[in-house]
């Protein structure tokens, strides 16, 4: 049964059910027809589940020996006979396709605005959400186009989050990290090669729940659907972005036995300040501000990811500290790059404004190389109505975790005690 067939059958049953209500039919007749609707819904949910199982099997298919399968010879390890590699056309009524459709975007927006859905829209919402989860324990799936826009807005406001590596693995997983390695050496012909020593640690990414709520008045919610979608995108991006930016920069990580805070991604600043002797932290004189020597001391500490480095600081720190630093001949060290949209640079590296960095801190690093974030569960939204104050809450929910792969790719410049100059730890 195709989705269109399901919709037609369900619409017909709903019309019959409405007719029974209008005619004052008995409870037995009404319940019998209602049972037919429920049976049809269960049948369609079973079809969706089978389709999901089939997709999972397709994604995990085994590698086959093309030569043995085709019986053709190999020329330079490439099958001599051409194979038809044209992609199979995607069905237009699959849950994945419908999740991206304009119809689902409209139905989802009306649902968020508390408006009545048509039978077709309700069926579409039910089908898309039953394909991935039940709305009894999770919110409605955000349309893919809306979710993508929210993520884009978050990355615009929080470039540190935008620059980190991201994976989308369901459940916890562990990443091996090379912590230290013995030096390579040259040998003559008669000298045996020494055994290398590679020391590994593990980064385990679990699931840290991120939830943010936006409250909207009923009056404001009366806007047109096409106006409501960008409005809620901006509001949720502000809320979720603040949480994601904080997590990557200053998140506390997993709580210990006696800690009272909830699990969070482990932020870069947290990891740098937790190291013994804080070798990647440089302190500057809080009274005199950042100096040229402080910036060179910070730059000297970064040993990994030189091609991907950038400075991250909030607006206050950029314009009260970095913009006032001068070199030995009195020229500002931070200059605008007209060829690249006027972005400011220090030592040729971009300076990115990020509100998640604490005031007074300047983070230098390569997050695309040395930080890994995993989106365990994509964003969903749950709504809650409040009758007396005439407001509605929109609660966005996601599961995200993250951690530092190498602290050597980062250096933190922060305000210290009066008289601090240069470094606080070992380089």
pLDDT (tens digit per residue) in 134-168: 444 455 677 778 878 888 888 889 999 999 999 88
Query: According to the model, what pLDDT value does residue 194 have?
Result: 58
* Residue 211 tokens, joined: 């939830």
**Residues 379, 198: contact at Cβ < 8 Å?**
no
pLDDT digits (tens, 9 = 90+) for 92-146: 566 667 777 888 888 888 888 888 888 888 888 877 776 554 444 455 677 778 8
β-strand partners of 214: 394
Least reliable range by pLDDT among 227-231, 288-292, 311-315, 408-412: 227-231
What is the torsional sign of CA 178, 179, 185, 189? negative
DSSP symbol at 35: H
Q: What is the dihedral of CA 39, 42, 44, 45, to 10 degrees?
A: 170
Name the more confident of 30 and 284: 284
β-strand partners of 374: 167, 401
Q: Residues 244-271: what's their mean pLDDT?
A: 90
Percent of the chain with pLDDT over 70: 76
Indicate if the pLDDT at residue 253 is higher than 60.
yes
Q: 190 falls in which pLDDT band (50, 70, 90)?
A: low
Domain ranges of the chain: 1-51+93-138, 208-416
d(CA 311, CA 163): 12
Whole-model pTM: value is: 0.69
Q: How many CA atoms lie within 13 A of 341 on its CB side?
A: 4
Indicate if the pLDDT at residue 384 is higher than 90.
no
pLDDT digits (tens, 9 = 90+) for 391-424: 888 888 888 999 999 899 999 999 986 666 565 5
From the list 172, 176, 170, the residue with the least C-alpha distance to 59 is 170
Indicate if the pLDDT at residue 78 is higher than 60.
no
């Amino acid at each position: 049964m195709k989705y269109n067939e399901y919709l037609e059958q369900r619409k017909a049953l709903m019309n019959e059910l409405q007719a029974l209500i209008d005619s004052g039919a008995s409870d037995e007749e009404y319940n019998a027809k209602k049972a037919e609707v429920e049976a049809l819904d269960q049948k369609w949910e079973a079809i969706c589940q089978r389709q999901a199982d089939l997709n999972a099997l397709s994604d995990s298919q085994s590698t086959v020996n093309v030569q043995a399968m085709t019986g053709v010879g190999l020329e330079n390890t490439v099958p001599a006979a051409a194979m038809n590699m044209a992609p199979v056309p995607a069905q237009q009524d699959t849950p994945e396709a419908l999740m991206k459709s304009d119809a689902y975007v409209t139905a989802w927006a009306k649902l968020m605005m508390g408006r009545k859905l048509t039978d077709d829209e309700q069926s579409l919402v039910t089908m898309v959400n039953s394909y991935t989860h039940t709305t009894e324990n999770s919110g409605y799936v955000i349309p893919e186009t809306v979710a993508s826009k929210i993520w884009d807005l978050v990355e615009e406001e929080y470039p540190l989050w935008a620059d980190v590596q991201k994976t989308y693995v369901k459940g916890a997983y562990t990443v091996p990290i090379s912590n230290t390695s013995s030096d390579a050496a040259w040998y003559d012909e008669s000298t045996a090669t020494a055994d290398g020593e590679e020391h590994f640690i593990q980064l385990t990414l679990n699931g840290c729940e991120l939830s943010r709520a936006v409250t909207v008045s009923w009056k404001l919610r009366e806007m047109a659907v096409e106006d409501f979608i960008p409005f809620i995108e901006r509001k949720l991006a502000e809320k979720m972005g603040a949480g994601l930016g904080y997590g990557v920069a200053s998140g506390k990580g997993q709580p210990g036995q006696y800690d009272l805070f909830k699990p969070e991604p482990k932020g870069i600043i947290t990891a740098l300040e937790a190291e013994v002797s804080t070798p990647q932290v440089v302190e500057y004189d809080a009274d005199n501000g950042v100096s040229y020597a402080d910036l060179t001391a910070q730059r000297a500490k970064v040993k990994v990811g030189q091609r991907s480095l950038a400075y991250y600081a909030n607006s206050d720190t950029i314009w009260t500290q970095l913009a006032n630093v001068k070199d030995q001949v009195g020229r500002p060290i931070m200059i605008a790059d007209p060829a690249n949209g006027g972005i400011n640079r220090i030592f040729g590296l971009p300076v990115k404004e990020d509100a998640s960095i604490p005031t007074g801190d300047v983070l230098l690093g390569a997050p695309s190389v040395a930080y890994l974030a995993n989106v365990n569960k994509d964003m969903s939204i749950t709504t809650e109505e409040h009758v007396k104050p005439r407001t509605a809450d929109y609660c966005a929910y996601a599961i995200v975790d993250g951690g530092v792969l190498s602290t050597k790719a980062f250096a933190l410049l922060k305000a210290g005690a009066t008289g601090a100059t240069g470094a606080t730890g070992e380089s």
